[in-house]
Chains A and B, each alone.
Chain A
Amino acid sequence: MIRDSQDVIVKTLSRLLVPFMVIYALYVIMHGHHSPGGGFQGGVILAAGFVLLVVSHGLEQTRKRLSEKAAGVLSSIGVFIYAGIGALCLILGGNYLDYGKLSKLLPVVPAEARSLGILGVEIGVALAVMAVMFTIFLVIFTVGEFPEDDRSEK
């Protein structure tokens, strides 16, 4: 169903648009803790950039950038960052996700350590959401397309 678009207008426009979408998503993630937005919305916008890439440049070109296996690894890394920051606070003597305790590791005051901690959690959430949204998109759009795909047999 997804094939390479032959339209030069679609290809050029999406090539121009995707970097701006990624920059906007990074802005949303980075400013998530003191303005509307955050990891979830930024991750969804990142995934929308990949969806636009699939629609305009085809599945094979996008698989070179981000394959299904890499998406699975990225989603695991996102969950690991989230849980790891929480467990790190637990190890340092606080409660789970008690970011103030991170000031023992970082050379900052506890108030700034809280800000950096929530930023790290947002980055983890954004990675996980992007990878999972992209995987759901690929699964829905390619189901039954490649019966000779060796993933299903082995």
Chain B
Amino acid sequence: MILPLDFILILFVFICAVAAITIKDLLSAVVILGAYSFLMCLLWTEMAAIDVAFTEASVSASIGTVLMIGCVAKTKRRSKD
């Protein structure tokens, strides 16, 4: 466990999480959420939880992103609020 790498990854995760809920374009929000999932996967790996990281990479970063892109395609692209 490398402490500076941990802090850098947590910083990136924080930036991605805040950007995903503040951005107006829904498709961009989904893509940023995919990046968030991948960074969380890196963080799990760095904390030696390989099984959790594997699940995060396969479920959240691949299938979850695809399903959310499908949902965005059924709605309008930009959010109203």
Q: Which residue of B lies closest to A136 (CB)?
A: B67
Whether the Cβ atoms of A36 and B63 lie closer than 8 Å is no
Q: How far is the CA of A10 from the CA of B67 in the complex (A)?
A: 20
Cβ of A58 within 8 Å of any chain B Cβ, yes or no, is no
Whether the Cβ atoms of B58 and A44 lie closer than 8 Å is yes
Contacts A137-B70, A141-B70: A36 and B62 contacting too (C-beta < 8 A)?
Answer: no
Cβ of A131 within 8 Å of any chain B Cβ, yes or no, is no
Contacts A1-B73, A44-B58, A143-B74: A137 and B51 contacting too (C-beta < 8 A)?
Answer: no
Whether the Cβ atoms of B66 and A45 lie closer than 8 Å is no
Q: How far is the CA of A41 from the CA of B62 in the complex (A)?
A: 11
Q: How far is the CA of A137 from the CA of B55 in the complex (A)?
A: 18
Q: How many residues of A contact B (CB 8 A)?
A: 19
Whether the Cβ atoms of B70 and A36 lie closer than 8 Å is no
Whether the Cβ atoms of B58 and A36 lie closer than 8 Å is no
Cβ of A140 within 8 Å of any chain B Cβ, yes or no, is yes
B interface SS class: helix
* A62 → chain B closest CB, angstroms: 14
Question: Contact string, B35-55, partner A, CB cutoff 8 A, digits 1/0?
Answer: 000000000000000110111
Interface residues of B in 55-81 (CB under 8 A from A): 55, 58-59, 62-63, 66-67, 70-71, 73-74
The interface centre, meaning the residue of B51, B54, B55 with most chain A CB atoms within 10 A of its CB, is B54
Q: How far is the CA of A137 from the CA of B65 in the complex (A)?
A: 11
Interface residues of A in 16-60 (CB under 8 A from B): 28, 36-38, 40-41, 44-45, 47-48, 51
Looking at the complex, which one of B50, B54, B66 makes contact with A137 (CB distance below 8 Å)?
A: B66
Whether the Cβ atoms of A48 and B62 lie closer than 8 Å is yes
Instruction: Please list the residues of chain B having a beta carbon within 8 angstroms of any beta carbon in chain A.
Output: 50-51, 53-55, 58-59, 62-63, 66-67, 70-71, 73-74
Given A45-B58, A137-B70, A144-B74, 12 more contacts at CB 8 Å? A28-B54, A36-B54, A37-B54, A40-B59, A44-B59, A48-B58, A48-B63, A51-B63, A137-B63, A137-B66, A141-B70, A141-B73
